[in-house]
Chain A
Amino acid sequence: MTDPWALLWSTPVLRGLDEAARRTVAAAARVRTLTAGQLVFGEHDPADAFYVVIEGAVELRAQRRGDEQRSVLRTAAPGDTFGEEALGDGGGRRGQAVAREPTRVAELPAALVLRGAGRSGGAPLAERELRRLRRQATADLLRTMAATRALDEAELDRVLDAVQSRAVARGTAIYASGDPPDGLWLVVDGLVQLQTEDDDRIHVRAYLTRGDGFGDDEALAGEARGCTAVAMGETRLLLLPAALLRSLVDRNPGLLDRIRRIAADRQAVQSQAVGAAAARSTQHVFKDLYRMQMARSLLVIDQDTCVRCGHCAWTCEALYGTSRLVRRGDKILTALSTPARGGAASGSLRSLMLPNSCQHCKNPVCMIDCPTGAIGRDPEGEVFIRDSLCTGCGNCAKACPWENIRMAPRPGGARAGRADDPMTSLSAELATKCDLCRGYEAPGCVQACPTGSIVRLDPARDVAEVAAVLGPASEGPGARKTSRGWLHGALRGLGVAAGLGLGITALRLQQVGAWKPGVGPGLDAGVVAAVGVLALVSYAAPKRIVGLWMRRRRPRSAARRLAEAAEGRGAGSRETSPRSQVRGWLSLHLVLGMITMAAVLGHAGLRLPSNPAGSLALAFWTVSALGVLGALGYRLIPRRLARLERRGDLPEDLVAERKALLDRLFMQASGRDELVKAIASRVLVPYARAVLGPLALLASGRRLADEEARLHAMIDAMREGRGQGRLAGLDALVRTAVELRALPLRRGLTALLRGWLPLHIVVSAVVVALLGLHVVVMLGGP
């Protein structure tokens, strides 16, 4: 075998690299030896590298739009490149590459080659070659697209000459309503939303993803754009100019039918899924569909059960020094699908919060933007930051659309590097983000949740609505395994029943004087209670000593991981539904608490004498009362609280919220019609400021949306049909007013959820101290 690098450096695209760039590329590149039939990459795999065939041959196969099966697009021979889509802006693989015979290929990280080419002296040469490669990638792409798949080579060349590639940033309009038509747009990667806007609202007409085309109607008819197309995320598009499109259609009359048939199918599916979701909630997954499309492992917190204790964030902080999870974020209302039911939506709607925590995008924009290659992705798709390479420049943190990367002081501080090589120094700051606790067997936050409310899910697989619109992205086991909720419920129910039964019996026996504290069964009950108290207090250990249940992952060699990933097994080893570890301990704590209370009743009855034993009893009953109230609060409050919030906020956010909401109310009223201003000042402001209003809202049990509807009805009744056309902006005002009314409730309920626990802990310590004294005295100590 010859040295592969000699061949590689002579390939056109790498010829222009200078010495420094070659060194970097060579360090990161990899030569892979494949057997016949082995997969180089599969469809949807992350595309961050491209390949040069050293020997053998590789077939590119893809499913053409409208086909059921994959077919061969082309075959790459030695010296040829494939996988060039990586040289664009990343994104997933559009097809699979299979070795046809025993083959050796070089895997070249695209970002490093691009960077090297850009900084090299021979840049112009490399530029030309890169253009050629991108053209190749575009050709491969066009062969799979509905509009162009049937074109012959000559026609395809004509299209390739005219087609323009465009990268569009998140939130940018591709064209706006009223713009002159520029042609047919094809989505290469990303998500495009077609919408019309009026004063208050955005009406979404369609969501378009990879392979979809849009804008052909106006381009052919030569009319102005009838709607606005907005890129919902980093999106890459191809533009077929109108003139080319017209000539194409003239020569290939069947072309349009094919495009439109596919578009009609897609619309039918979407209108069903989106319409249903929008009808039942405004907090539906489509508000940020791009996030759903991108996320591979989206952390969600079920607000209906989350008790806002923040133990997830605390655990993260305990593990890494700064919390990579901030329990604040948007909220969606959706049903999760379970694979058992064939992917259909099952169960009730869940109120899910999407906190600030890395979602391990399929096409991570942070990784593309990292200038030093410090961000990597392992074969299982987990994106991580190599601390030693991070320069703290903050580029990734600025790029992440959801602020899931945060800058933090480097643990251990900065370190000066060697003078000759600034890259050996360590910056004082570094970028931090969730890496799913890759050193451990399962993420700490998920395991630490005392209610099991945190779930990591892949929306395209686990959220039925997303799957319906975007098409199921990847196979694999669902994140929602058989829940153990029933087990905890049963355990706690049994505990409560046992505690009540035993307690009542013991109290009765105490009262008739059959059991006495100092002798016989009464004394035994006391011993049980003492042991129970100690066991209850030891709940602090699993709660606060994270190391008890965070098990380090068995180190596996990178080669082994790769092999497993290639065989599709790797993912399974770690994704087997991480479960909450603390939840079981909490159940045990609750059951023990009930039994200990019963034991105390059996030992001392309800007497509270004014002596040390009485103090112990008093302290014990205080702790118990706090615990029982806390448990009841945990059970009852979250569900009610979830109905009152539009997004997940931290308690400290709520403090400043009132002022912000009032400001918003007045700002939303400014510049509006006099009628709207009058409604705002006479109805909405008094409504928002009513002292007992929040309590009424709590008692009514309404959701915010129901409350809005009620308020609207109230305003309509007052208007008696007048001024119908002058209500622009009222919706927003009503929303703000309702949020203002709900705010004190949110603060109060959150305080109830969080306030009792510190007291519970402190009084527990008093109980333990008094218990020690009690035992020493009764045993006849000093």
Chain B
Amino acid sequence: MNDPSHDPPGDDRRDGMFSARAGQPVGRRRIAPRAEETSDVRRFRGVLWAAVAAGLAVLVAMVVTIDPATERTPGPLSKSHQAAATCASCHVDDQPPAARCGSCHEPHPSTRPGHRRLAGAGALVCTSCHPAHAGHGGVAFTPSGTVWRFGPGAQEEVEGLRVVPKPAAEKRVPIVAVERCGRCHDPQAKDDPIAACLLGDQRELGGARPTVCFDEHRAFGGVAFSRGEGVYARSRLWAAAREVAGVAPVAPHAPAKPQSAGWWLGVAALAAVAAWGLARGVAWLLRRRQRSLAPRPAAAQPPKIRRLPQIDTTTCIGCHACVDACPYDVLEVRSFVAVVVRPDDCCGLTLCEQRCPNGSLVITDGEPIEDRPRVDAALQSLDTPGLYVAGDLTGLPLIRNAINQGALAARAAAASLRAEGAAAVGTDAAPLVDLVVVGSGPAGLSASLAAAEAGLRTVTLEQGSVAESIRSFPRGKLVFDQPLGLPLEGDLWLREATKEELLGQWRRIIRARRLPIEEGARVTAVRAAGGPTPRFEVRAETPSGSRRWIARRVILALGRRGTPRKLELAIPEAVSDRVHYSLADARSFAGRKVLVVGLGDVAMEAAIALARQPGTTVTVSYRGREFRRGKGRNIEHVQRLAAAGRIELRLGTEVERIDEGMIVLRAAEGLVQVPWDAMLVMIGSLAPWGFLEAAGVARARVGAGIVPVG
């Protein structure tokens, strides 16, 4: 069949779908996924509050700033109506407002026959030419000689007229704009009668152009005058009004009320943002409070007594919860009941106990543990004050624990330094620093980070490179995050990640925080100097020669893996570069013959990784006659590979001699020769007790009593 090739499985497990590359089981997980509150669910939290707040805010802003009565009017009244008229004066029920003009004004019909005809037919009423709210006002002459050009809701004084009439009482001449005449007249046409009413130079005003035929209602020279004034006085007023129409053709308008749509909507927006923020903030506070109320698991203390899980088989439901919680595969489920299968590997943490759903598993106390440093609750040595121990050395080999302990020790050191006060600066040859961290594994890094945060002058000395013990994990190995039990201190992020992801994150942190880490500096001695306050002399071999520091505090974060246990036989100089103590990248051994010595977890994982490489011949030599320790899945995997012929298992053998081409193994039935290109010696590591004791950290011994936890 043709080749439906799959995409490469990618290093990222989130990339694409499940990859079926052989030997990468993706079946059961050890950690139950938790329900998450995704942004889909959170998205509209607080939006309802924001909406309500915005609506209310805009309402309040408007109700406070506007007067509803004025809102209903289409505009201000012109000067002549302002004093007397209310809305009800003109707007009565459904009658047209023009019908009410007669209540104040006497009838004074138009002088023009055409207009009269229209008025008679009801097509021309007062408001046709004189709209009350949006009219063009007129000119007012006062007895004092002031002339006002007025419009709806406003007036302005007109000065510099050639003739200024001074009537006995105030007189007004209304002005009508030409747009009012547009229904019948064409202002553009020369022969239209209205052309005579327009001033010549105001074409650009368009519809607002004032008409100056003021004889609409009273003929200029006729007999219609009934009261008081003479023709002369009126013609003076008209002439003056005509002049005003020329000077101020457009009626002034009342300025817009100080209302701003933008302002109101801005208030609404502010209220919305505030309400949204408040709702989210309150929810966040509530959540935080709930979290802080939840019992926090205590920071892990190194166990002082051997402890073992005990299982009530009558109530155990065989759910694997404890099995999955255990980092060391101490437990297994057999016949639907959990059993302790590897008691020696038990770390004494109560992860399994916490995980058991129905209390069938409890941790019981056993005998005291011997190999652990005498330290107090803050990890300070009980024998040498100022000296701290963190990480695997304390007897709890978990990466996460190491991170926590490093931070704990550094904070304790910082606190005691604060209590002690400032100190002088040392010499160039032996600079005085606040803190020397020995080792840059998870514990050392975490300590350096915490020290940097506390503002300590710190030096971190690392004999190899950063996190070497983790770097020597086989490529791609999953670094399991434990399901619960240990709160995580500091930023050295750790979830279910591969070794590369973890290292990448650490490198980023070191770069970003500029942590002072001296790589390649092998500490040769840490010596406590006498005196009222703790002082330590730290000596180290660096690539540039030996160096010396005077330190006020020292954190030993050496780890146990630091010095691998070596074979008890001489390795010829010629082949020493073919003997390795860790496996960094199995791919570099592809196609070669490799002998793995040892059958612990590290050795098994290395053998499995090597067996996966094309063309690699893997032989495993182990002293024991059977699998003695290690994780269940590793043993199973190795056995399967051995059955398939990918790994040659030589149990009950020891390395006798190493030659150029052959390694000789001693077995019960005689000597065996194994051809080799490379040898991996993985028979555990030695705890650096000699170094520790020289520095002043004593070992707790059986019968030495249990140190009370402060």
Contact = CB atoms under 8 A, between A and B. Distances in A.
A425 B356 CA distance: 14
Given A202-B20, A310-B38, A763-B54, A422 B26 contact: no
Given A172-B27, A286-B4, A762-B272, A310 B40 contact: yes
Contact of A310 (B34, B41, B336): B41
B11 A664 contact: yes
Contacts of B47: 758, 761-762
Contact of A313 (B41, B51, B72, B264): B41
B68 interface: yes
A450 B180 CA distance: 55
Contact of B26 (A178, A401, A615): A401
A675 interface: no
Residue among A170, A177, A762, A765 with the most chain B CB within 10 A?
A762
A288 B16 CA distance: 10
Given A398-B324, A401-B27, A612 B259 contact: yes
Nearest to B4: A278
Interface in A264-313: 267, 270-271, 274-275, 277-278, 282, 284, 286-288, 309-313
Contact of B3 (A203, A287, A664): A203
Contact of B17 (A322, A330, A732, A766): A330
Contacts of A230: 20, 22
B26 A287 contact: no
Contact of B20 (A232, A284, A735): A232
A234 B27 contact: yes
Residue among B9, B22, B63, B359 with the most chain A CB within 10 A?
B22
A606 interface: no
Given A195-B20, A228-B22, A765-B51, A406 B33 contact: yes
Given A432-B35, A766-B268, A391 B358 contact: yes
A624 interface: no
B32 A397 contact: yes
Interface in A166-194: 169-173, 175-180, 193
A371 B335 contact: no
B6 A287 contact: yes
B31 A398 contact: yes
B406 to A, nearest CB: 24
Contact of B5 (A169, A202, A323): A202
A618 interface: yes
Interface in B238-293: 256-257, 259-261, 264-265, 268, 272
Contacts of B29: 398, 403
Interface string A607-629: 01011111100110000000000
B39 interface: yes
A313 B40 contact: yes
B204 interface: no
Interface stretch (A250-258, A501-509, A647-655): A647-655
B17 A204 contact: no
Contact of A205 (B1, B39, B257): B1
A406 B34 contact: yes
Interface stretch (A40-48, A115-123, A475-483, A594-602): A115-123
Contacts of B38: 310, 313, 323, 326-328, 650, 652
Contacts of B25: 169-172
Interface in A734-782: 735, 754, 758, 761-766, 768-770, 772-773, 776-778, 780-782
A468 interface: no
B24 A171 contact: yes
A705 B616 CA distance: 36
B544 interface: no
A364 to B, nearest CB: 14
A549 to B, nearest CB: 18
Contacts of B337: 119
A171 B4 contact: no
Contacts of B27: 169-172, 234, 401
A427 B8 contact: no
Nearest to B264: A615
A267 B40 CA distance: 44
Interface size class of B (residues with CB under 8 A): 35 or more
A563 B616 CA distance: 61
A663 interface: yes
Contacts, number: 293
Nearest to A176: B22
Contacts of A330: 16-17
Interface string A652-674: 10000000100110111001000
Given A310-B43, A422-B359, A201 B5 contact: yes
A693 B133 CA distance: 60
B229 interface: no
A202 B6 contact: yes
Contacts of A650: 38-40
Nearest to B645: A180
A732 B35 contact: no
A180 B644 contact: yes
Contacts of B63: 773
Nearest to A402: B18
A423 interface: yes
Interface stretch (B157-165, B315-323, B385-393): B315-323
Nearest to B46: A758
A731 B1 CA distance: 24
Contact of B357 (A397, A427, A732, A766): A427
Contacts of B26: 170-171, 401
A288 B256 CA distance: 70
Contacts of B22: 173, 176-177, 195, 197, 228, 230
B183 interface: no
A668 B68 CA distance: 71
A393 B4 contact: no
Contact of A179 (B24, B62, B644): B644
B585 A271 contact: no
A395 interface: yes
A683 interface: no
Contacts of B37: 317, 322-323
Contacts of A647: 14, 16
Interface in B348-388: 357-359
Contacts of A474: none
Contact of A397 (B9, B10, B33, B41): B33
Contact of A173 (B1, B23, B55): B23
Contacts of B48: 761
Contacts of A381: none
B68 A371 contact: no
Interface string A486-523: 00000000000000000000000000000000000000
B261 A611 contact: yes
24 contacts: A119-B313, A170-B26, A171-B25, A176-B23, A177-B22, A179-B645, A179-B646, A195-B20, A202-B6, A204-B6, A278-B4, A287-B7, A288-B17, A312-B40, A391-B319, A398-B320, A406-B36, A407-B34, A427-B358, A613-B71, A650-B38, A671-B585, A762-B47, A764-B51
User: Top 3 nearest A-B pairs by Cβ distance?
Assistant: A310-B40, A394-B32, A271-B1
Interface of B: 1-12, 14-41, 43-44, 47-48, 50-52, 54-56, 58-59, 62-63, 66, 68, 71-72, 256-257, 259-261, 264-265, 268, 272, 313, 315, 317-321, 324, 335-337, 357-359, 500-501, 504, 585, 587, 644-646
Interface of A: 115, 118-119, 123, 169-173, 175-180, 193, 195, 197, 200-206, 228, 230, 232, 234, 267, 270-271, 274-275, 277-278, 282, 284, 286-288, 309-314, 317, 322-324, 326-328, 330, 369, 371-372, 391-395, 397-399, 401, 403, 405-408, 422-423, 425, 427, 431-432, 608, 610-615, 618-619, 646-647, 650-652, 660, 663-664, 666-668, 671, 731-732, 735, 754, 758, 761-766, 768-770, 772-773, 776-778, 780-782
Given A282-B7, A773-B63, 6 more contacts: A118-B336, A287-B18, A313-B40, A652-B39, A664-B10, A762-B51
